[in-house]
Structure 1
């Protein structure tokens, strides 16, 4: 066993951790540049063919970085894109980043360690780090920002050099170690396990910015919010945030199993997409309007009005419906396009009804800390449903690729089993394990 892993599992002190040598290589899930063309002409771009798990060299640490021993990570759709080499191979991102010079040059390698979520322990800090120490328990935000850019100081997501860690950078979270800028670090809620905490920052942080932040939809009490893909990684957090903020959550899912999970999350109105005629894609704008009329009738009957906010990360198959069904003066907030990123909609329903489309991407550090506080207070719960070992990271990614999952899919990295990492068991007991894990017993673990 890695001496640092052994020390962490043996409750070593920070001083003891600092005295142990960092290994020269480590275990990671990664992609290879030589495989970029492997899916050319293929019908099923099965990510189990492209994702590898093996040892990679340990990079040098920059002055503003930390080395985190990753106890657990989770799967996000950007890892699916990475492993399919779509819409562009991520090696192009790494080359572009390396061209900025300095320590960025480390990222241009023939392998790409992927993963944009992590929870673990700080085991080294760079010479310029002031507010973090070896031994700190942390979660990692995927927002990789440059604090020397002026745009960053208005909003961390507005710098030209802002990147998604583990997608547009190397040394990501699906590994035993991760290299992160300390501006990515967020304190881990003490009552959560490693795998629970590792399911939070990308999806919950993104949903928080989209819905709660004044930079997003600025959710208020009484707002009706339509959430597409409401039991997915993003959607399951969105439903909780709408409920916690006094809104009315309307969730759309594709199966009765997911509808049952959505009711467990407390969603006010549950709609099966098949009941509105949306079996696949909404197709052209006229078809989207017909689906929108059916959906609108259901929402008005249940809530008394149209949704002020539509939460859409699904993209091509739903976006035309989103624009149509949003209330007059309403907002469609989007952060992705898992079903395709070229959308078709009837623009008359946007401009003549004074609706807005807001593009949103991850969350700045303040938003991440505010979101994490809600978890620490027990106001939000992880949506973890299933956990895989790192050796099966490709299978976990395939589950998300085929939309066969609920909520978040976790991956154990240095942690050998689930259930570790809780430092406030009294709080955990007070909140209750069932409340902390609303989706966990709906799907068995894979550890």
Structure 2
């Protein structure tokens, strides 16, 4: 592994980094590598504990694992940087189900998929790094290419997936529903997961937008989502968080008016720094009277604050991802004929809402899940152009991934939390310093928050 890292680091000092990186093609692939794993024999370790008390630091382990064979249409990448998403948290606390069921079902699909059914699960759904090896049939990518990986894994053997690959019956999220994910020194991906690494970003910065940026793009911008247009009012929950910080940027870039919902003055300041003017601190609201009863008076008070900020406008679009805690009020405050677009449900999957406000006011609920390859590519292109910026707040070394996941689990973070995999320090991998200089303040906006 050190030979691979040495070759990549040589590019840092070279006038032609691409030429230096082509040297990795001649290097042997290590027989094993370090990855962040959960273990099948520990899936019951948190039984009886409340969700909040389940600690990813106890279940996420860094261990040496065998390197998988690279199959047809696949690529092996040396991972320089990765990031933590909520699916890593769910995996680490074995909620709502253990991911080993996903791996077992995938393993039954075909001989190639059997490799994924193991007593350990290498996790992680973001990665930036260098292609080491490609399998038979891969022509778009070659060893030495600097890439980021999106997390859509599809088989496309069924006609259903060929209009929108997210509808493929064998659609999975890499590193969550498959093995060999991105929180590791090496990662195995399908070659059609690869996209060019934005040249003005460091490895850890380039890794962190992948899952959330693509997810927000599909939810808000795509014709598969809310189809946001200029002039729309968009209510964004968790607007300074991993998903919300990209949704806020898309709304601002697309000519919409974001109404950013946050939980502290510090998070409100971050939204204003992104350019948002309308911000609500939700810490003064309690949308549930008790575990079973929502407080409709709080719904009305919240809706009144939105209208006071917007000059009487209700949201055309509600960008929903907290789920159970907020879904009732989201349906209530959306404009007549408006759209609630939902994913993730990080506060709970069982949503309750008053259907009168949906049905009688002709509102729509759209379920949205990650993004297809085209959407992911377009979202990454906007990053590469400097139109959308990473929201990385902090990076941890690979050995401290458990702490990184703990921070996300406890909402003790802003934006995205990155992980340095092979990269020995932050700030490496920048190939276009001129473009970076034009956007330096925006790139670093979330740092150390």
TM category (shorter chain) comes to: over 0.9
Between 177-186 and 259-268, the greater mean CA deviation after superposition: 259-268
Aligned to 1:370: 378
Mapping of residues 374-385 of structure 1, within 5 Å: 374-385=382-393
Q: Within 5 Å, give how 1:8-19 maps onto structure 2.
A: 8-11=8-11, 13-19=20-26
Q: Which residue of 2 aligns with 1:302?
A: 309
Displacement of 1:19: 1.0
Contact 1:285 1:320 (C-alpha < 8 Å) held by counterparts = no
Q: Deviations over 1:33-67 (max 9, x none)?
A: 01011111124111111110011110011110000
Match of residue 33 from structure 1: 40
Q: 1:339-395 CA deviation, whole Å, 9 max, x = no partner? A: 010011101100000000000000111111111111122111100001000010000
Cα distance in structure 1, aligned partners of 2:107 and 2:198: 34
Q: For residues 161 and 142 of structure 2, what CA distance do their matches in structure 1 show? A: 24
2:197 is aligned with 1:188: yes
For the residues of structure 1 that align with 2:172 and 2:166, how far apart are their CA atoms?
9
- Of residues 216, 219, 222, the one that matches 1:213 is 222
The separation in 2 between residues aligned to 1:383 and 1:320, in whole angstroms, is 29
Aligned counterpart for 1:353 among listed residues 361, 366, 388? 361
Which of residues 381, 402, 411 in structure 2 aligns to 1:403? 411
TM-score by length of 2: 0.95
Alpha-carbon distance in structure 2 between the residues aligned to 1:393 and 1:217: 34
Q: CA deviation at 1:9?
A: 1.1
**SS in structure 2 opposite 1:257?**
helix
| Match in the other structure for 2:16 | none
Distance 1:389 1:33 in 2: 24
Q: Which runs of 4+ in 1 moved over 3 A?
A: 280-286
Distance in 2 (CA, whole Å) between partners of 1:268 and 1:328 is 24
Paired residues, number: 439
Q: Secondary structure at the match of 1:221?
A: coil
Question: Which residue of the partner structure matches residue 106 of structure 1?
Answer: 115
Cα offset, 1:223, TM superposition: 0.4
Match of residue 183, structure 2, among 146, 149, 174: 174
Aligned-partner SS, 2:137: coil
The answer to whether the Cα contact below 8 Å between 1:285 and 1:344 also exists between their aligned partners in 2 is no
What is the rounded CA distance, in whole Å, between the counterparts of 2:373 and 2:434 in structure 1?
28
**Secondary structure, aligned partner of 2:214:** helix
Report the more deviating stretch, 411-420 or 294-303. 294-303
2:424 to 402, 413, 416: 416
Give the SS at the match of 2:271. helix
Whole-Å Cα distance in 1 between the matches of residues 274 and 158 of structure 2?
A: 40
Decide whether aligned partners of structure 1 residues 249 and 284 sit closer, same or farther in structure 2, where only a CA change above 3 A counts: farther
Stretches of structure 2 that go unaligned for 5 or more consecutive residues are 12-18
Distance in structure 2 (CA, Å) of the matches to 1:36 and 1:150: 36
Shift of 1:253: 1.0
What's the counterpart of residue 351 of structure 2?
Answer: 343
Query: Structure 2 vs 1, CA of residues 286 and 394 (structure 1 numbering), >3 Å: closer, same or farther?
Result: closer
Q: How far apart are the structure 2 equivalents of 1:249 and 1:125?
A: 42
Q: Is the 8 A contact 2:331 2:357 kept in 1?
A: yes
Instruction: Decide whether the 8 Å contact of 1:285 with 1:346 is kept in 2.
Output: no
**Is this contact kept in 2: 1:208–1:367, CA < 8 A?**
yes
Matching residue of 1:439? 446
TM superposition score normalised by structure 1: 0.96
Q: Equivalents in 1 of 2:406, 2:326: separation in Å?
A: 23
Instruction: List aligned pairs for 1:54-203, cutoff 5 A.
Output: 54-203=63-212
* Superimposed CA distance per residue, residues 301-354 of structure 1 (whole angstroms, 9 cap, x where no aligned partner): 221310010001100100000000000000000111100100111011000000
- Give 1:277 deviation, angstroms: 3.5
Counterpart secondary structure, 2:166: coil
